[in-house]
Amino acid sequence: MDIYELPLSEISEKIRTRELSPVEVVDSSLDRLARVEPSITAFVTVTEDIARGQALKAEAEIAAGEHRGPLHGVPLGVKDLYDTAGVPTTCSSKVRAGHVPDTDSAAVSRLYEAGMVLIGKTETHEFAYGATTPTTGNPWDPARVPGGSSGGSGAAVGAGVVHVALGSDTGGSIRIPASVCGVVGLKPTFGRASRFGVASLSWSLDHVGPLTRNVTDAGLVMAAMSGYDRRDPATVELGEPDFVTGIDAGVAGKRIGVPTNFYTDHVTGEVREATRRAALELESLGARLVEVELPLAEYLLAAEWGICSAEASAYHREAMRESPELFTDEVRALIETGEAQLATDYINALRLRTRIQEAWRDAFADLDVLLAPTLPGPAVPRDDPFFRWDDGAVESATSAYSRMSAPANVTGLPALQVPAAFSADGLPIGVQIIGKPFHEAEVLQVGYALEQVGDVVGRIAPL
């Protein structure tokens, strides 16, 4: 078995005991990248020299007895929205071509402090404004989309290049690629982790988090990323979290909400069956299934797009005045649409979000977590990114994917995507676990329980 195929926990222990050198781990990661990158194009920039230098530094530190923890010496991919000092950060856009930040984003800085090693910057749908990442192929079938906007991160983890890649999630952009690429993706509670140094799509909806091969790894990385940062006034001071201790506590007695609306419309039969089976597996482990009708569900997408559209256009206002031709046609049209939005519509969307958040808080009074499909279907073809439903409806992949994932952004609740099954075409299908504010540990416990009863989590695409 090649090094890149080993679980992060095993690699971490071998690094700690000096059975493996971080240099060997990085070499394996870079070798894997060289083999699969022609098929999937997951990376905008490969930082081979930086990776080898950081690996040598980690090796020396560990030899000197300065082991920093379970992420020390572990390769990392970073979505090209995150500032990385001395490394181009382009947001996969001509608008930012040649942009090289002087400082690291807060999340990258924290993971460097944990000893992680930068392999490269991963592709994103331009400025994170989309759910398909056209530049990149799905590792399970390169002719299919890898999801978005963190499509490069999903593809890099799904293909086995790295164990961890950073994503951002404004309407599902961590969970969407995690689902279609067959990996774990964690969107934390709004305010859990700093967005400082990460290009914004929609300031009041943006979240940052990891894509990983398994649930425990997501907990490790999320804990390292978390914490108050005065540079991001949305962050909350909650102390130093531990999302891994007790992750195996089980789900006995937990109340699992099973939606009877919203998540049941326009989904494939395979997704419906995978979600049903996941619920029954949790019930067999001692959890109690509780049917729940989600409140104000018909207004969720209006709130999401009413807020996102206006805030995205405000962020890009200057660039649109100076060089609109540098944006792709798709993203430029979305920004122009947002510029035409009335201020009253934006304010009403903010007010509507408050009502939705209050209603969901009440709905969670009798629940511990909510279990739902992550997406209505698996990866669609890159040359035909649409869903065609039995009732004749035709839905773009961006609309269909964000439809299922946006509720956790509107509410700000933590949500974990976990691989649950494979379609008849061999494509990954996932479920998401949505929890109460700042209850990431509980969401991870439920995800870990699901991971243990199946053999889907942790698979690497056979590229």
Identify whether 173 is a catalytic site residue. Answer: yes
Phi then psi dihedrals of residue 437, to 5 deg: -55, 130
Could you say which of 12, 28, 79, 109 is catalytic?
79
The predicted structure's pLDDT at residue 352: 98
Verify whether residue 423 is a known catalytic residue. no
Helix (H, G, I), strand (E, B) or coil at 206: coil
**Catalytic-labelled residue, pool 149, 153, 194, 402:** 149
So what's the pLDDT on residue 178?
98
What pLDDT shows up at residue 389?
Answer: 97
Which DSSP symbol is given to 123? P
DSSP 207-239: EEEEEESSHHHHHHHHHHHBS--TTSTT-----
**Among this protein's residues, is 313 annotated catalytic?**
no
End-to-end CA distance of the chain: 15
Q: List the chain pLDDT tens, one digit each, 463 residues.
A: 899 999 999 999 999 999 999 999 999 999 999 999 999 999 999 999 999 999 999 999 999 999 999 999 999 999 999 999 999 999 999 999 999 999 999 999 999 999 999 999 999 999 999 999 999 999 999 999 999 999 999 999 999 999 999 999 999 999 999 999 999 999 999 999 999 999 999 999 999 999 999 999 999 999 999 999 999 999 999 999 999 999 999 999 999 999 999 999 999 999 999 999 999 999 999 999 999 999 999 999 999 999 999 999 999 999 999 999 999 999 999 999 999 999 999 999 999 999 999 999 999 999 999 999 999 999 999 999 999 999 999 999 999 999 999 999 999 999 999 999 999 999 999 999 999 999 999 999 999 999 999 999 999 999 9
User: What pLDDT score was predicted for residue 11?
Assistant: 98
**Which of the residues 21, 109, 173, 402 is marked catalytic?**
173
| pLDDT value, residue 189 | 98
For residue 440, the tally of other CB atoms under 10 A from its CB is 26
∠ CA 104-137-140, rounded to 5°: 110
Which domains can be identified in the chain, with CATH numbers? 3-225 (3.90.1300.10), 255-413+431-442 (3.90.1300.10)
